[in-house]
Amino acid sequence: METRSESQDSASQQAISQIDFDKAGGVVPAIAQDYQSGRLLMVAYMNREAFEETLRTGHACYFSRSRNRLWRKGEESGNYQTVHEIRIDCDADTVLLAVEQHGDRAACHEGFESCFFRALRDGAWQTVDTRRVDPSKYGPGYGHQPKSAS
């Protein structure tokens, strides 16, 4: 995806205004998919500001609902994402990013390529992927806390 020039800003503003941020209280789900393999990497959220920053920089920027602030993916870990394409769904309330995952190529804060590393097998959620990196290398405060701790 090309980053936006000044002259493209007004067109982009019109496209942004078509995104239905209101339906879910100011954010839309943002799905990141590997631009080459099609692997579903993660689902996060974007508010308008995060979407605008993503357009401007070409790097995925989400909105962290738990931290209530912009989340520049990879800011702590180096696992940033460059955005190759952005799509929107029929209802304009979900966006789909085709991304290139950098750093340790782990989109998940638990060190897996994808947050969807568990599949239902024989009635139980089983880890079926291999962890790519031990996320403790990013420091003790890395990632969001498990729900049981919040």
Which residues are at the interface with its own copies (CB under 8 A)? 1, 4, 8-12, 14-15, 18, 20, 23, 29, 31, 33, 37-40, 42-43, 55, 85-92, 94, 96, 108-110, 112, 115-120, 122-125, 144, 147
Residue type, 3: T
Cβ neighbours around 97 below 10 Å, total: 24
Q: Are 70 and 63 in contact (CB under 8 A)?
A: yes
Q: How far is the CB of 123 from its own copies (least distance, A)?
A: 3
Closer residue to its own copies in complex, CB, 80/117: 117
Closer residue to its own copies in complex, CB, 12/70: 12
Phi, psi (rounded to 5 degrees) for 82: -95, 145
Residue type, 133: V
Closer residue to its own copies in complex, CB, 62/117: 117
Closer residue to its own copies in complex, CB, 70/96: 96
| CA pair distance 22, 26, nearest whole angstrom | 5
